[in-house]
Structure 1
């Protein structure tokens, strides 16, 4: 009788590396390691060899960076989505796509369970399990951090050493890092305490610390069609290429480093350091183009809706009815978000340079101080009489 199969969301990092032998000890199942390529830089042959050497019977690596950029990063940029008005959701955007691929492979392999290496305190356990449920509500999920006796990353390192599993984490550098096309996150170790100052040059991977950035500014041109970036510096690129190109350019200038305290889905606060160079420039340029092509009311609505969408995505609800409805609304607002945006990058700053659009709502005649055929200066008197009426009534009644 063949063994049951468990599909493991595998990264090759500390947590998932020790999960393979632990699963084999406690579930007596065949372990299928799945590492979803969402744009992280890896030696995939080495990752596969490590998974097999650790006890996995099979390894899958679906390469989905293009899908990630087009169907997840770009919709978030169109919405100007920032969790708590700050975080660009790099990890949260990748998890629903990874979950989708895990379920596809689990069905292909007739697996009875999907396992992830997320801790019981983190956001990703929610995101993975929400995503899995969206495609297979009956799939069994195994979460070792909620079951095993390993209590800390230090314990995990000891377990890996005991089992002879090669790892890069040490007790001195115990950071938990997540990389994809959009960003790299850093947590754990001395980063955890907000009281600790950290040396960014020792932590950052794709972004220069400010001390190492060029002394010359660089102007970048981004072309948008219906809110989606289609070219950088005049070169037509597919979405994944836009993001990777901007990562290189913006990372050189120290753009997109975020060190902040966030509120996790399950309630506690935590500190993380994020590198999102390309995404930061892309979102800034997109917002500037919208300032020229959207009405005041639409911009106001999008700011509110963007916060709601960011909250849904952060909490793992990418496939929810609410998120799908919001995205339909966002798509409608992007019809005329067309044009070119130039920004100047310098020492961690994104400075405005120019915006042009065939759909711009700026009218030089109307907006200027001179006379034009759409607005009569005398009309302002009646408008002011009407808009100040409530204030005059309150004053008459002694209320102000």
Structure 2
């Protein structure tokens, strides 16, 4: 073990990080500072967390409220790109990791630590996301990943480890599901989901109402978008986090935002998860609806290209890279005209756009009408089509020869 004086641990208060604190002290003979990121995982997750960290052996515990910053500086920029991983996943866990890692690094530099630590397993994506951010922001700090070093391989072993040291822990032996929550989403993995032939049961869903049990009457909401960002709901101006929180409540009540997906992890393993993103689904529908009005064909096609590439960069933990920042900047430029109002109907798991308008709209009833108009001469289309298909015509003539 290299000599470490002080380490800042990304601390959640769960079983893993509770065991990591004494393990670090025993194996590295160092001071451990617990860092807690409040990214909207729920107040119940934060109750007593500082006392728990100290009881586990931490010298201090820092709690950073990152909710508003996460939505404004990470989720909204990602939304503008249209990033959706493998066609379905709205990147709930992925978008939270860069801001947590950044705040953890800032804490480490502030307290004079010489190392960073996380509780990610050696099989998942999060180890890459955290350490990729650490490398980009503070390459001089040593990174410790206990799951790649220790011999504690089961939940029972972790509980025994804490019991032997008289460290209190509220975790139980059985943990059927693994969950990750923040203001954007909640994910559920494990349990019955490990067999892809098993349908999700009620325990696989945390936030959202079962669409079959959702209200029989649809609810309509209005979303105001300015430059690709949701700024008001039902004519009430809201901060990014408050808008997301409000839409989460509305969408969850109607069962909006559920997906059951088998995804390709960065490390090469496929995993299955049930993800709930009610407010995010509504926001995504609103932005895409305004885009339909204001972006021309080439701009929209390029935005789709940005979204596809950005989805992989964000998922793979490459937020703090020149390429990712370039794509975010390009998407932000395209979003400058994405301003308008959208009416969305929430019903039985669906968020359906029913009305949309924008002062920047390129849509015109005069141009689109099937009736007589003065803006389009049908006879002009013949010359356009002949030139547009000229290469195909020349190829066919050559083939005939």
Provide the TM-score with structure 2 as the length reference.
0.94
Partners of 2:390 and 2:191 lie apart in 1 by 60
Say which is worse superposed, 368-377 or 138-147, in terms of deviation: 368-377
What's the secondary structure of 1:61's corresponding residue? Answer: strand
What's the secondary structure of 1:365's corresponding residue? Answer: helix
Alpha-carbon distance, 1:24 to partner? 2.1
Alpha-carbon distance, 1:39 to partner? 1.4
Alpha-carbon distance, 1:397 to partner? 4.0
What do the CA deviations read for 1:84-118 (whole angstroms, capped 9, x no partner)?
22211111111111111111111111112111000
CA contact (8 A) 1:169 1:175 kept: no
1:330 aligns with 2:327: no
Q: Look up the match of 1:80.
A: 82
Q: Look up the match of 2:273.
A: 272
CA contact (8 A) 2:155 2:173 kept: no
User: Structure 2 matches for 1:253-272, cutoff 5 A?
Assistant: 253-272=254-273
Alpha-carbon distance, 1:154 to partner? 4.8
CA contact (8 A) 1:160 1:167 kept: no
Q: Look up the match of 1:202.
A: 203
Say which is worse superposed, 56-65 or 187-196, in terms of deviation: 187-196
Q: Look up the match of 1:62.
A: 64
What's the secondary structure of 1:36's corresponding residue? Answer: strand
CA contact (8 A) 2:83 2:307 kept: yes
Q: Look up the match of 2:182.
A: 180
CA contact (8 A) 1:207 1:254 kept: yes
Partners of 2:377 and 2:164 lie apart in 1 by 82
Partners of 1:391 and 1:34 lie apart in 2 by 63
1:35 aligns with 2:36: yes
Pairs aligned (count): 396
Alpha-carbon distance, 1:253 to partner? 0.7
Partners of 2:154 and 2:356 lie apart in 1 by 50
User: Structure 2 matches for 1:275-354, cutoff 5 A?
Assistant: 275-354=276-355
Runs (4+) of structure 1 exceeding 3 A deviation are: 152-165, 167-170, 388-399
CA contact (8 A) 2:285 2:353 kept: no
- After superposition, the Cα gap between the structure-2 partners of 1:285 and 1:65, relative to the gap in structure 1 and judged at 3 Å, is same
What's the secondary structure of 1:62's corresponding residue? Answer: strand
What do the CA deviations read for 1:124-183 (whole angstroms, capped 9, x no partner)?
111111111222111101100000112244543454455553234542x33221111101
Structure 1 unmatched runs, 5+: none
CA contact (8 A) 2:225 2:286 kept: no
Alpha-carbon distance, 1:286 to partner? 0.6
Alpha-carbon distance, 1:27 to partner? 1.7
Alpha-carbon distance, 1:220 to partner? 1.3
Alpha-carbon distance, 1:45 to partner? 4.0
Q: Look up the match of 2:371.
A: 370
Partners of 2:192 and 2:118 lie apart in 1 by 25
Q: Look up the match of 1:49.
A: 51
Provide the TM-score with structure 1 as the length reference.
0.94
CA contact (8 A) 1:17 1:165 kept: no
CA contact (8 A) 2:224 2:232 kept: yes
What's the secondary structure of 2:184's corresponding residue? Answer: coil
Partners of 1:117 and 1:263 lie apart in 2 by 21
Partners of 1:323 and 1:26 lie apart in 2 by 37
- After superposition, the Cα gap between the structure-2 partners of 1:195 and 1:158, relative to the gap in structure 1 and judged at 3 Å, is farther
What do the CA deviations read for 1:196-217 (whole angstroms, capped 9, x no partner)?
2221x22322211223311111
Partners of 1:191 and 1:145 lie apart in 2 by 23
Q: Look up the match of 2:24.
A: 23
Structure 2 unmatched runs, 5+: none
Q: Look up the match of 2:117.
A: 115
Partners of 1:119 and 1:25 lie apart in 2 by 20
Say which is worse superposed, 149-158 or 342-351, in terms of deviation: 149-158
Alpha-carbon distance, 1:195 to partner? 2.5
What's the secondary structure of 2:76's corresponding residue? Answer: helix
Q: Look up the match of 2:108.
A: 106
Q: Look up the match of 2:236.
A: 235
CA contact (8 A) 1:259 1:272 kept: yes
- After superposition, the Cα gap between the structure-2 partners of 1:159 and 1:69, relative to the gap in structure 1 and judged at 3 Å, is same
CA contact (8 A) 2:184 2:277 kept: yes
What's the secondary structure of 1:32's corresponding residue? Answer: strand
